[in-house]
Structure 1
Amino acid sequence: MRARDGVNSSGHDGKHIRTRLHIGNLSFDTPDETIRAVFGRVGDVLEVYIPTDHNTGKSRGFAFVTMRTTMDAENAISELDGYTVDGRCIRVNVAREQSPAPAARHSNGKERRR
């Protein structure tokens, strides 16, 4: 596990377990600074990530916010799920862990080396 900002990849820093939240129904124009400010009112925000479309570079209408502690994340869900940001009623949930991508295969069915 690789350490980053004093927190290893499992999200544990020895004192707290960080929690990643999925924020849905965002305006395509909402900047990460706005999200950080809104979520910062209910807890300690470690990271805000807004995925963008590969072709247009525009927001895809959702974001991920990593909160320092589980309690911060629970506060964010209870206080901000249904909250209006930039004219949109946002949805706040614990993010699901992404499944590892399956190995790439050649058309003959053998695995490709990466």
Structure 2
Amino acid sequence: MAKKLYVGNLPYSVDDEALHSHFAQYGTVESAKVIMDRESGRSKGFGFVEMAQDSDADAAIEKSNGAELNGRALNVSEARPQAPREGGPRRGGFGGGGDRGPRRGGFGGGDRGPRGPR
């Protein structure tokens, strides 16, 4: 079964292919992905590598953790499962509809409570 590795402190110049090449020296790499910032398109400085064999992944951790790649010491460890995000589904915007009590509402509308005589 494949083992996923976390690779931190990556130089910003490293792309998916360079990450794949670095870890291929330890065994079969199933995937290598540098995480990119959505807005800038630049590397966030970390990525994930999936090794085909657990023994190859263990060797990669042992030999690459602390080793330099383009002048930076890598942090390599077994990846932990992603923690569930708190707060449930995201809702954007201001205010909202519905009865939230008297004199509430804001930008999104909603119940403003009773209005005086006109």
Separation in structure 2 between the aligned mates of residue 36 and residue 66 of structure 1, nearest angstrom: 9
| Displacement after TM superposition at 1:105 (Å) | 6.6
Spell out, residue by residue over 1:37-85, the C-alpha distance to the aligned partner (whole angstroms, 9 max, x if none). Answer: 1100011100011111111010000010000011111010011111111
* Aligned residue-pair number: 92
Q: With CA pairs under 8 Å and 6+ residues apart, which has the higher RCO, 1 or 2?
A: 1
Structure 1 stretches of 4+ with a deviation exceeding 3 A read 105-108
Across the aligned residues of Structure 1 and Structure 2, the Cα RMSD in angstroms comes to 1.7
Compared CA separation, residues 73 and 101, structure 1 to 2 (3 A): same
1:86 aligns with 2:63: no
Which segments of 5 or more consecutive residues in structure 1 lack a partner in the other structure? 1-16, 109-114
Q: Which has the larger radius of gyration?
A: 2
Q: Which runs of 5+ in 2 are unaligned?
A: 97-118
* TM-score normalised by length of structure 1: 0.74
TM-score normalised over the length of structure 2: 0.71
Partner of 2:48: helix, strand, or coil?
A: strand
1:111 equivalent in structure 2: none
1:53 has 2:32 as partner: no
